[in-house]
Amino acid sequence: MSKHLRKISAALMIAAMAMGAPAWAQSDTGAMVVGLSGDPTLINSGTTTEINSSVVGAQIYSTIIRLDPKGEPAPSLAKSWQVAPDGLTYTFKFFDGIKWHDGTPFTSKDVAWSLLNVNKLYNGPAGGLLEAVQAIETPDDQTAVFKLARPYPPLLRGLAYFNSSTILPKHIFDNGQDPRQNPANLKPIGTGPFMFKEMKKGSHILLERYPDYHQDGPNVERLIFQIIPNEAARALALEKAEIDFIPYHVMPLGEVERLQTNKAITVAFQKRVIAGQYQAFLNTREGPLANTAVRQALYFAMNRSELLAKAGFGHGKVSDGGPFSSELPVFYTADVKQYGYDPALANRMLDEAGFPRDASGKRFSLRISYSLSEGPMNDVSRLLRSQFAQVGVELVDKGMEASAWRDTSFVKWDYDITMGSFASGPDPAIGAEAFYTCKRIERLSGRNASGYCNAEVDRLFEAGGRELDEGKRTEAYRKAAAILAEDVPHWWLWDRYYPIAFQSKLEGITDDVTGYGTLDRVRWTQ
């Protein structure tokens, strides 16, 4: 249903665009317009992981630290920090004189309250990230001290992600109310470079420069998020300079090639340390896929270069590191079992596994589920149907609306194969671990829905998450990757590259490595 509504609103949107561009569209260097595919349901990443919310919220709110273009921690709210040698104490010193947009002074109590009372409780990734944090002490208004129960190296970088670690104002959210119901979710007050001005559903969100921002910038007076549901219309709007930037999560992949030929537009690849992979969870509890040999055989039957070229328009790399994307620094290794395209081998393995072809040439049939709003998945399903037919396996397409997909796959576990884009990073302890360890077999979105459980893999992930020495961590994770590539609880299709497109005169967009960072340093060049 919602897919249909989107189509209709897309049609209306095209009509609306044809009638006349918004007033701010005419290459006004005092403004910057970002294209989005739909309204964020709310602007508060403390309670949601929706990317639209993070992209908008990152301009209004702040995180404790940010990541520089190399992915190293850099000051944001905190001007300096120290990690104790035992890895159990993190001390952050904040800038003086930071004020919320309503004039209330920002203090370390905002940090402590927000992270422990909102983010940890209502935001999935933050729950994992802050699991080891026992307490956040605030000896004075400019200092916060994190006390950990056990060393947890991914914590520092994790605090730079708006998607999990947005700092919310205590004086607005600490009113006894459920933070998900707070009116400030649609009228946010932050410490970031832009102040919220107005939000018109289905049309735009208008932000204005915050003059008292404590860091440099921002360099534009107004920042506008323009809602354009139709993919082709979004690309067209960029070409007509009605919008200036299309972020990674709403980039129309089919338009990349055409936009690249336009000199006024730069197409770049967003470095994203969350290292997303298109991958398929396999239900290892029942049916033919409970058999490791079958999972391996069908992985051999898969022509992943064709999937990437035709469904992903070539924006990525066929996964060769098992559970870790090649975009994941340090931990990735290609020294794991490889699955090249080999239908003959697949046929042989299926015969040996005890699944002979019947009279019509068919061995068995599997259901393949995915969300219809997840870009290339419909095409992947069509291609796989064709590829698996060659080894006598029939696929039944179960594409469905996003929330129904999440429910049947991750809560009901009613699937054989379910596909989507999942993050292996920014650190395996945050990303990959959730999919493969026994304790994560939970009926929750983005958890171990395959039901795969291997004590050795659990031990390695456990060791990797605690270990402080990077060499030993790497070793543990690489061993785990090798075992997983052998057992194939998932089929890792391809490592995603994230194309983005923006007006060539904009500078500084590619400095952000999170994909939804603050745009305070972005400026127009002449």
Contact residues: another protein, CB under 8 A: 1, 3-4, 7, 231-232, 252, 254, 258, 306, 309-311, 372, 378-379, 381-383, 385-386, 389, 396-397, 399, 401
Which pair of structure tokens corresponds to residue 370?
């995915």
* Residue 77: both structure tokens together: 């709210």
Q: How far is the CB of 369 from another protein (least distance, A)?
A: 11
Task: Give dist(CA 89, CA 76) in Å, integer.
Answer: 19
Please give the single-letter amino acid code of residue 384: L
β 89-94/78-83 pair status = antiparallel
**CB nearer another protein, residue 252 or residue 420:** 252
Query: Cβ of residue 256: shortest distance to another protein, in angstroms?
Result: 12
CB atoms within 10 A of CB 15: 9
Q: Which is nearer to another protein, 120 or 234 (CB)?
A: 234
Question: CA–CA distance from 18 to each of 11, 205, 365 (Å)?
Answer: 11, 20, 47
- Identify which of residues 166 and 373 has a Cβ nearer to another protein in the complex: 373
The H or E element spanning position 397 is strand 393-400
Q: Which is nearer to another protein, 149 or 344 (CB)?
A: 344
State in angstroms the smallest separation of the CB of 9 from another protein: 13
Q: Which is nearer to another protein, 321 or 376 (CB)?
A: 376
**What is the smallest separation between the CB atom of 233 and another protein, expressed in angstroms?**
11
In the complex, minimum distance from the CB of residue 44 to another protein, in angstroms, rounded to a whole number: 29
User: Minimum distance from CB of 160 to another protein (Å)?
Assistant: 35
- Residue 394 to residue 367: CA distance in whole angstroms: 8
Q: Which is nearer to another protein, 4 or 70 (CB)?
A: 4
Which residues, 6+ apart, have CB-to-CB distance to 419 below 8 Å? 278, 279, 280, 281, 368, 369, 370, 374, 377, 380, 381, 493
Complex with another protein: residue 258 or 348, whichever CB lies closer: 258
Smallest distance from the beta carbon of 238 to another protein, in angstroms?
Answer: 15
**How far apart are the C-alpha atoms of 382 and 227, rounded to whole Å?**
30
| Residues linked to residue 145 through DSSP beta bridges, in sequence order | 91, 137
Residue 267 CB, shortest distance to another protein, in Å, is 17
Query: What is the rounded CA–CA span in Å between residue 247 and residue 261?
Result: 19
Least distance (Å) from another protein to the CB of residue 312?
Answer: 12
- Report the candidate in 165, 509, 479 with the shortest Cα–Cα distance to residue 331: 479
Q: Are 320 and 337 in contact (CB under 8 A)?
A: no
Closest contact distance (angstroms) between CB of 97 and another protein is 50
Burial of 477 per CB tally in 10 Å (0-12, 13-18, 19+): buried
Q: How far apart are CA 163 and CA 47, in angstroms?
A: 9
DSSP state for residue 156 in the 8-state scheme: H
195: β partners: 208
Nearer to another protein, 354 or 361 (CB): 361
Q: How far is the CB of 372 from another protein (least distance, A)?
A: 6
User: Given the complex with another protein, which of 319 and 387 has the nearer CB atom?
Assistant: 387
- Considering the complex, what minimum distance in angstroms separates the CB of residue 417 from another protein? 14
Q: Dihedral, CA atoms, 474, 479, 481, 482, nearest 10 degrees?
A: 140
Task: Rank residues 135 and 344 by Cβ distance to another protein and give the closer one.
Answer: 344
Q: Which is nearer to another protein, 239 or 458 (CB)?
A: 239
Please identify, using beta-carbon distances, which residue of 175 and 386 lies nearer to another protein. Answer: 386
502's tokens? 């923006």
DSSP codes, 261-284: T-TTEEEEEE--TT-EEEEEEE-T
Main-chain dihedrals φ then ψ at residue 256, nearest 5 degrees? -55, -50
Give the N- to C-terminal CA distance of the chain in Å, as an integer. 46
* Min CB(318)–another protein separation in Å: 17
Long-range contacts, stretch 507-510, CB < 8 angstroms, 24+ apart: 509/245, 509/268, 510/69, 510/268, 510/270, 510/271
Query: Closer CB to another protein, residue 388 or residue 435?
Result: 388
